[in-house]
Amino acid sequence: MPERFYICTAIDYTNGAPHIGHAYEKVLADVMARYHRLKGDDVFFLTGVDQHGQKVQQSAEKQGVPPQEFVAETTAKFIALWEKLGVKYDGWAATVEPRHKTCVQRILQRLWDEGKIYKDKQAGFYSVRQEQFLTDKERGEDGEYGPEWGQVEFREEENYYFRLAEHKEWLLALIDSRADLIYPDFRRGELRNAVEKIGGDLCISRPKSRLEWGIEMPFDPNFVTYVWFDALLNYISFAPGGGYDPREGADLTEFHRWWPATIIIGKDILIPAHGIYWMIMLHACGFSDADMPRLLVHGWWNVAGAKMSKSEGNVVDPDVLVDKYGAEALRYYLMSDIATGRDSDFSEERLVGRYNTDLANNLGNLLNRSLNMAARYRECRVRKAEHASVRSVADAATAAQSRYSALDANEVDAGLAAVSEFAGVCNEAIERTAPWKLAKDDANAGQLDAILYALAESLRMIAILISPVSPKAAHGIFDQLSWKMEPALSGNEARFSLADAEWGKLPDGHVVGKPTPLFPRIEAAAS
Ligand code: MSP
């Protein structure tokens, strides 16, 4: 039965250019979206940018441009990168859009009317440089605030608070009862511990005197909304079917056809943002337990074991990598060299190594040799024949097909490894059966037909299985196999379907094309 999937990602801060972490998350979401389409599911994939907040206001000030102009420029960089990387989304969440602003303000108004937001006064130590109130956690061992906070002064400030703490027990019960709430499972324990420690409510406003670049509180024009409260709501304001309407009596039929979403985020924004604030915000808005979103929490790409940071100068720029190696090589690396949920180290040598081993040598050679032999020995026409010596290939196909369902458990790396091993079995079968020897004696014609068919059929299946990760390569393989060439299908995702990845679907007498190298080896060592 086809299912409906609403897949969202975190929305990226637009206070700088996209880096490899952003690229990883969006490619992961794109692969999951493509995988579900491959299965015949209905998918709506939302991604976008987080354009408000203090960091953006500061960066814009530094450049001497209005924040609108600043975010328009940085947003364009993200959009250009997704285009280049083949990240194909259905909806674009940009938080400066009126549609989002309206939704955020309606929700705030409703929560205010229902008494779920209140005004209060905060007094405490405030860092002028970091523009935030400090707590005892920020004190150094000597009990003083360190120089990183700059001038620290005692301040009193009025703000609006969202009643968070009263939902603590509810959230603990939810975490215990919904096993599918968070992937991977070990994050559930982490979240539970954090929820146990919830102490107070959440300050959701900033006085305009210190932050202007945000969504105005609908009931008080002297304040803007705290950027997280604004940003988290993107998942419902940009939901398919016009978004969520919190007003009494609104028609939510279309919204509920898609909701709850699967939200793909990095480990740093589970606690407190998504695991605590977001769940409680939805609960306060009247969402049922069954309507709480699923969180897919991925790990981080580090560099030589260290966190990427501008100050360290070790930030990896995906744009440069795409220009150097192509989108498919980068997508393949990002999906195969990390276990979803865990961290990994980014390394250009490993990117090149993965590409050369799995794509150029293993799959590329298989394609080239198979089609060359079909051309040389059978004038490109493959006959559906069976022979005991190639049964291992058909068995490997079945094994790959079943191991590929690891993608249902978000294990993209395991799915790709299964496909790569399958291609390896095909290459071994070529070595073992040595078609160039079989071709010398007509008595072996049946066996030769069987191996040539098995190779073409395997390539057809492999193309389907790699299509979510490497769509261009998948099209390239289909084109060279001369398979599904109808103009409506060419270059179209609809060309691939998981149901077609079944052994024996290539008809007897099919005429394949001539090979052209699909994955030229990357020769130069990484520089
Ligand atoms: N704007 C917030 C998210 C709001 S969602 C309502 C934010 N933005 S971010 O630009 O800092 O990060 C966007 C996503 O990229 C997050 O999910 C974050 O975890 C992810 N990554 C940032 N650095 C990363 C790596 N080094 N590796 C993998 N992903 C990382 O947080």
Beta bridge partners of 298: 266
- Would you call the peptide bond into 260 cis, given omega within 30 degrees of 0 as the criterion? yes
pLDDT band at 125 (very low <50, low <70, confident <90, very high): very high
**Ligand 1 proximity of 13 Cβ (cutoff 6 Å):** yes
Distance (Å, rounded) from C-alpha 345 to C-alpha 173? 36
> What was the pLDDT predicted at 311?
87
Inform me whether the pLDDT recorded for 220 exceeds 50.
yes
Q: Give the pair of three-digit tokens for residue 298.
A: 């991925």
**pLDDT averaged over the chain?**
96
Distance (Å, rounded) from C-alpha 350 to C-alpha 316? 14
Read off φ and ψ for residue 14, nearest 5 degrees.
-105, 35
> What was the pLDDT predicted at 310?
86
> What was the pLDDT predicted at 525?
57
> What was the pLDDT predicted at 513?
98
Burial 249-284 (b: 16+ CB within 10 A, else e): eeeeeebeebbbbbbbbbbebbbbbbbbbbbbbbbb
How many CB atoms sit inside 10 A of residue 149's CB? 19
Among protein residues, the one whose CA lies closest to atom 24 of ligand 1: 21
Distance (Å, rounded) from C-alpha 431 to C-alpha 425? 10
Average pLDDT rounded to a whole number, residues 436-453:
98
**Ligand 1 proximity of 346 Cβ (cutoff 6 Å):** no
> What was the pLDDT predicted at 526?
46
Q: Where are the beta strands (DSSP E) in 208-299?
A: 216-217, 220-225, 262-266, 294-298
Which residue is it, tokens 């924004």? 269
Inform me whether the pLDDT recorded for 303 exceeds 90.
yes
**Ligand 1 proximity of 89 Cβ (cutoff 6 Å):** no
Average pLDDT rounded to a whole number, residues 287-309:
96
**Ligand 1 proximity of 56 Cβ (cutoff 6 Å):** no
Q: Give the pair of three-digit tokens for residue 494.
A: 């609809």
Distance (Å, rounded) from C-alpha 414 to C-alpha 417? 5
Q: Give the pair of three-digit tokens for residue 125.
A: 């130590």
Average pLDDT rounded to a whole number, residues 281-297:
98
Average pLDDT rounded to a whole number, residues 141-164:
93
**Ligand 1 proximity of 265 Cβ (cutoff 6 Å):** yes
> What was the pLDDT predicted at 2?
81
Rg (CA), the chain: 27
Distance (Å, rounded) from C-alpha 50 to C-alpha 29? 17
Q: Hey, which of 47, 237, 268, 317 would you mutate to test ligand 1's pocket, going by the most ligand atoms within 8 Å of its Cβ?
A: 268
Q: Are 238 and 46 in contact (CB under 8 A)?
A: yes
Q: What is the DSSP letter of 139?
A: B
Q: Are 418 and 404 in contact (CB under 8 A)?
A: yes
Residue 319 alpha carbon to ligand 1 centre in Å: 17
Inform me whether the pLDDT recorded for 527 exceeds 80.
no
**Ligand 1 proximity of 45 Cβ (cutoff 6 Å):** no
